[in-house]
Structure formats: structure tokens, C-alpha cells
């Protein structure tokens, strides 16, 4: 399994682009040379990866590393996912690099891990979002109607505010709703191959600041907050947090427009 498989309908765009036009040489993929197989797919008009700028494969791969807070590599690639899942099951807090920045993640049903994350991030009450492997996992935690299901599984893949099936006192204190998103990148899906359960996935940032997108700022600003971090060697150029939506009276309300919607504009008729 390769955590950066992509085509013209999926994968990063805004997060890796440096300038227009959107060509590989204007992205953070510019120094990663395609192997002959990827190049043949890229140049074939009949292929789903025709002119897919972020294309790569295990031969011309983006590398994944599991590191300690000092930046020392513990393991890489497949072993990095296996060890990350073990650490999460042990109650560790991991910073995991997604498409638009790092998430702080822990086992959603490990009380000690949740308490530790709230203490370290100085977030005593504000709700955390959850990441579930698939729709079935999400339905075990919340009531989901057809519109909400379509949002969860749609191309935007936002956090959807849902009616919780029970109280989650350490995840969403004093509210009857819970924010859930489904794993939306191959990297997340590969992690869920080894971690059985759901994960808290909250933005790795200081209060009032944007999500952290690089390991230097992660280690500088959140020193002592995470135990290990899962990183990869494709640079994020433009950070973007998870978009948040809620269905109210049958209509989709956008509470935060970010990943999947950037750049975003509204037409106004004055």
C-alpha cells in the first residue's frame, strides 16, 4: 500500500502549489522525478493520471518517517504506520501530517490519552473532532441522515457536526453533538489498516494561530505536546485546516471554509 496514490480527481492541489499555472514544476513535487511507469501514465491521454501533477509510486516515492520530538527518525515507510498505530493504542499522542497540516491525534476512547491531550494543549472544554475509518464506524457514534452521509463521503470530506448517540464527556463536553470526518487521504486510510478504532484529530497549532504545516514549527511551538510525529518529505506550501459543516433544517451551513474550499469566493450582487 502506498500512501500518496493520486489521480486527476484526488490528491493535493492548493496545499502544494507555489505559483500558476498548476504544473509540477510550480509545486513542491518539482524535485521528485517521475519513474518511467509514472511518466507513461502521466503522458497517456487515456489514463486517469494523465497530467496528474502529484503523481508518484513506490518506485519514485514520497518517504514517510516516524520521528521523536528531537526529529530523530525511528522507522520509515510501512513500519512507520505499524509503529504509529502501536503508539496510539498505548495512549500516546501523535502529530500526524495530513494534506494541509499536522493533526494532533490520539485514541478516541482512551481516557488517559484524552485527558493528557487536553492538559498539554490547554484545551479544557472545547470539543475535539473525530476521524473515523469509514461511514460504518461513524454511524456507531452518531445519527447520520442521507444529506450528512453525502457530505461525509463527498469530495469535500469536511468535519460534519452530527447528533451524538451518547455523551462523549472527554471529546465534546456538555454538548449532544460531535464533529466527525472520515479518513480522506491514503495516508490516513493506511494508518487505519493498523489502528482499529477512531481517532481524535485536532489541529496542531497554538490557540489563535493557523494549523502548523512543517516540522520545524511543530517542534518549536508544540514542544511537549506530542510524543512522536509522523512526517513525510513533500512540503506543504499552503496550510489549510479541515472545513466544518452542519446540516440545519435540511440546508448545509458552512461553519469553517478551508480544506477542499480554498481558495473560496462568494458572489455578491450589490
What are the pLDDT digits (tens) for 151-178? 999 999 999 999 999 999 999 999 999 9
Q: What pLDDT score was predicted for residue 75?
A: 99
In angstroms, the Cα distances linking 157 to 44, 176, 181, 267 are 29, 22, 7, 23
- State the pLDDT confidence band at 218, using cuts at 50, 70 and 90: very high
Q: What pLDDT score was predicted for residue 265?
A: 66
- State the pLDDT confidence band at 266, using cuts at 50, 70 and 90: low
Q: Which CATH number fits domain 64-256: 3.90.870.10, 3.40.1530.20, 3.40.630.30, 3.90.1150.10?
A: 3.90.870.10
Is 179 within 8 Å of 172 (Cβ atoms)? yes
Q: Which three cell numbers stand for residue 197?
A: 478504532
- Residue ranges matching CATH 3.90.870.10 in the chain: 64-256
CA end-to-end distance (rounded Å), the chain: 52
DSSP strands (E only) in 134-198: 142-143, 159-164, 177-182
Q: What pLDDT score was predicted for residue 22?
A: 94
In angstroms, the Cα distances linking 21 to 27, 53, 201 are 10, 11, 33
Q: What is the mean pLDDT of residues 206-221?
A: 96
> Has residue 248 got a pLDDT over 90?
yes
Amino acid at each position: 500500500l502506498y500512501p500518496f496514490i493520486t489521480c486527476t480527481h484526488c490528491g493535493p492541489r492548493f496545499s502544494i502549489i507555489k505559483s500558476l499555472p498548476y504544473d509540477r514544476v510550480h509545486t513542491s513535487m518539482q524535485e521528485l522525478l517521475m519513474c518511467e511507469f509514472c511518466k507513461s501514465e502521466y503522458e497517456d491521454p487515456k489514463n486517469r493520471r494523465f497530467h496528474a501533477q502529484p503523481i508518484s509510486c513506490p518506485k519514485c516515492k514520497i518517504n514517510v518517517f516516524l520521528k521523536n520530538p528531537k526529529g530523530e527518525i525511528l522507522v520509515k515507510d510501512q513500519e512507520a504506520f505499524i509503529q504509529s498505530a502501536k503508539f496510539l493504542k498505548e495512549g500516546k499522542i501523535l502529530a500526524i501530517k495530513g494534506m494541509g497540516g499536522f493533526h494532533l491525534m490520539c485514541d478516541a476512547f482512551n481516557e488517559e490519552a484524552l485527558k493528557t491531550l487536553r492538559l498539554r494543549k490547554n484545551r479544557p472544554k472545547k470539543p475535539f473532532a473525530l476521524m473515523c475509518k469509514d461511514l460504518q464506524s461513524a454511524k456507531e457514534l452518531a445519527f447520520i441522515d442521507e444529506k450528512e452521509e453525502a457530505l461525509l463521503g463527498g469530495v469535500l470530506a469536511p468535519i460534519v457536526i452530527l447528533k451524538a448517540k451518547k455523551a462523549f464527556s472527554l471529546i465534546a463536553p456538555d454538548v449532544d453533538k460531535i464533529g466527525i470526518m472520515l479518513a480522506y487521504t491514503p495516508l490516513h486510510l493506511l494508518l487505519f489498516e493498523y489502528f482499529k478504532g477512531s481517532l481524535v484529530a485536532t489541529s496542531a497549532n497554538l490557540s489563535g494561530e493557523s494549523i502548523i504545516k512543517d516540522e520545524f514549527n511543530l517542534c518549536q511551538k508544540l514542544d511537549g505536546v506530542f510524543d512522536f510525529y509522523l512526517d513525510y518529505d513533500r512540503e506543504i506550501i499552503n496550510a489549510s485546516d479541515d472545513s466544518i459543516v452542519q446540516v440545519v433544517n435540511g440546508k448545509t451551513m458552512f461553519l469553517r471554509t478551508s480544506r477542499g474550499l480554498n481558495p473560496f469566493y462568494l458572489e455578491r450582487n450589490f
